[in-house]
Chain A
């Protein structure tokens, strides 16, 4: 089987040239159209946003250590949680995995030299930077206190903060996201190398494809919603203003028509990464390839029909709430299909106990809790009790952080040797993963109890009875923060003095492991021909 892939025989590029050292100077990076360099710049940018937004989270937790006011006033607290949410969502989770990791691996995995529209890819990055500047500019002006959802009427004519700057920033970030999705979809359709059939795509690309569907279909609706909000705030056109005959609930419908599918823009890429990590590090053919592939597409499509479950208490009709509640449960089916298939993949596998695999295991554990706690929130009766409490906060952090971010960091450990050409200290990686896992559960599992006992979200002071749980959650956030900083240290150490990475450190079978680490600018000397699937591991094939 080692003869099956012709790219197997490709030697290291002549003269030791790779995409990192082929051209030098900052200008060569800013004008590059190489998807790998653009991916790295995305990683750096979204990572910075994660760091800033994460520091806001640590500050929020410190304020909540004691029931009374500690380090922030009420308006400052409102600004801190708004910017934490807005930056995490728009500047980190949505662009993070597609812009950073997928940009790097997608063309290589299908044997292409680049994405279909390399210049558009660079434009996406520039739009991201421009949108990020608008968003970050609020930090040095009046801040933002609307919550990341920008709900009207507060955002339209009450808030005194920089709503227009940030929403315009999110508007531009939307275009960046659309262009990335469009680029990936065309690339997967048109640039697959000979032999890379749809069913030979690594599953992470099915997830990338499903993500692209959502980016293309949902993001334009966010664009028009934010544009209307800007017009409403700037001119008072009355579309969302009840005094002038407008409807604030219509804003919520528009907003969640995007922002619920956007939840799947965040989690689907993570699910895709987990498919790779589990199969490669178990050295086992993935169990139920088609089930996992189509469950990604199913999640993307069903995700468009459930937005109303964010609005059970907003005054939408009871019939609408009932229908939305009913459809919401359907999301559990493809999600469950994935979890069971991943678990079955490990059965009788030869499991490597390394950092990427530990993250994959953490994901399985945390995402399952996140998914299962979504079900009570989808029940209208229970949601009336849990709405706007810490139960909701805990639930979506289990899905977003425990799911998407854990998968992102796991994927980073998986493809780090390919991207940088350096290995990292696996022991340190595992310790960091352990710290993150423990810290995360301390922080957020506690919040399920807080929420079910009635602690509302977005309050900076609280009743004394909640203090022990809040304090425990804050201690957890320090462990979590320490773990994340340790990841950063491990990666920096790897860049500084990491061993040289081999071409295929994990024994993967997909195409990115067939090029040198780091890959040459063109990815492959000549277009590879593929004759087997991405999960045909030697032990599987020999049987």
Chain B
């Protein structure tokens, strides 16, 4: 809930009964900030559980088809994966700096840092695009689409099912994240944030760190360990 929207909420109430002198449903701005922050953290918990199911599937199938997983993971491009890891870690840094800048009401700096974060996220997706097209070209695909030849083990297709679902859903989170970064960037341009009000930047920042963190687990587990 942004301050602007809660203000709307309050006027909505006052329209009905102007005698009431209630600003909004929070007594103090602090409470509002605390509530927003707690809400974001709880949302991140649900994200972890969401990906938790996929990590669970990864570990189970890796245990079952260990040889297939080792063989299949050599077909992932470690260099591209490492490059993407670098992009995301750097973007987490610029995001954290952007939160700091918005707290200090440094509008231009906030916007610049958010723009860099946005571009790094875009770069991640470009690399991902090349990786995916390569996999599709080679027929390294999930389930019944798996057409690659020359494998000595039977269930490489399960590895690629896990790979595509996990990186695909993660990629979707990156796309959503880019939308959110754009949103707070536009609001920062309108000079809406200050030391008193920066909850949206903080919230998007927390979300973005989680997206980064999930990749930091995906990269070694899929690309390096197999």
- Give me the interface of A with B, judged by CB distance under 8 Å: 13-15, 17, 22-23, 33, 112-120, 178, 182-183, 185-187, 189-191, 216-221, 223-225, 227-228, 231-232, 235-239, 241, 244-247, 250, 254, 257, 520-522, 525, 527
Contacts and interface: CB of A to CB of B under 8 A. Distances in A.
B219 interface: no
Contact of A23 (B1, B16, B39, B64): B16
B9 A186 contact: no
Contacts of B43: 182
A220 B143 contact: no
Contacts of B19: 14
A330 B125 CA distance: 48
Residue among B1, B9, B13, B31 having the largest count of chain A Cβ atoms under 10 Å: B13
Nearest to A215: B46
B5 A220 contact: no
Contacts of B164: 237
Interface string B126-144: 0000000000000000111
Nearest to A23: B16
Interface stretch (B75-83, B94-102, B153-161): B153-161
B69 to A, nearest CB: 11
Contacts of A120: 1, 39
Given A14-B19, A221-B52, A236-B143, A117 B165 contact: no
28 contacts: A15-B17, A22-B16, A23-B16, A113-B24, A119-B1, A119-B9, A120-B39, A186-B38, A191-B25, A216-B42, A217-B46, A219-B46, A220-B50, A221-B50, A224-B54, A225-B53, A228-B53, A228-B165, A235-B145, A237-B165, A239-B142, A244-B157, A244-B158, A245-B157, A247-B64, A520-B20, A522-B22, A527-B27
A183 to B, nearest CB: 8
B34 interface: yes
- The winner among A14, A118, A245, A527 for most chain B CB atoms within 10 A is A245
A239 B157 contact: no
B45 to A, nearest CB: 6
Contacts of B35: 116-117, 186-187, 189-191
B190 interface: no
Given A191-B25, A239-B161, A244-B144, A13 B17 contact: yes
B57 interface: yes
B162 interface: yes
Contact of A220 (B9, B49, B56, B165): B49
A257 B118 CA distance: 36
Given A224-B54, A250-B60, A238 B161 contact: yes
Given A217-B45, A254-B53, A237 B142 contact: yes
A538 to B, nearest CB: 30
Interface residues of B, number: 50
A257 B65 CA distance: 24
A217 B57 contact: no
B165 A525 contact: no
A446 to B, nearest CB: 39
A239 B165 contact: yes
B27 to A, nearest CB: 6
Nearest to A257: B53
B17 A224 contact: no
A14 to B, nearest CB: 5
A238 B143 contact: yes
Given A13-B17, A220-B53, A521-B17, 7 more contacts: A120-B1, A220-B49, A235-B142, A237-B142, A244-B158, A521-B16, A522-B22
* In the A-B complex, the 10 residue pairs with the closest CB atoms: A238-B143, A22-B16, A220-B49, A220-B50, A237-B142, A113-B25, A224-B53, A245-B155, A114-B25, A236-B144
A112 B31 CA distance: 12
Which residue among A224, A227, A247 has the maximum number of chain B CB atoms within 10 Å of its CB? Answer: A224
B9 A23 contact: no
Nearest to A114: B25
A14 B54 CA distance: 56
A17 B52 contact: no
Contacts of B53: 220-221, 224-225, 228, 254, 257
Given A113-B22, A191-B35, A182 B42 contact: yes
B16 A239 contact: no
B20 A525 contact: yes
A92 B169 CA distance: 30
A178 B12 contact: no
A138 to B, nearest CB: 25
Q: Which residue, B9, B16, B54, B155, has most C-beta atoms of chain A within 10 A?
A: B16
A218 B49 CA distance: 8
B50 A223 contact: yes
B47 interface: yes
A223 B42 CA distance: 16
Contact of B143 (A33, A113, A237): A237
Contact of A178 (B24, B25, B46): B46
Contacts of B39: 116-117, 120, 182-183, 186
Interface centre among A120, A239, A520, A527 (most CB of B within 10 A): A239
Given A33-B9, A235-B142, A185 B42 contact: yes
A216 B43 CA distance: 8
A219 B56 CA distance: 16
Contacts of B64: 247
A23 B16 CA distance: 6
B5 A23 contact: no
Contacts of B51: 224
Interface string B198-219: 0000000000000000000000
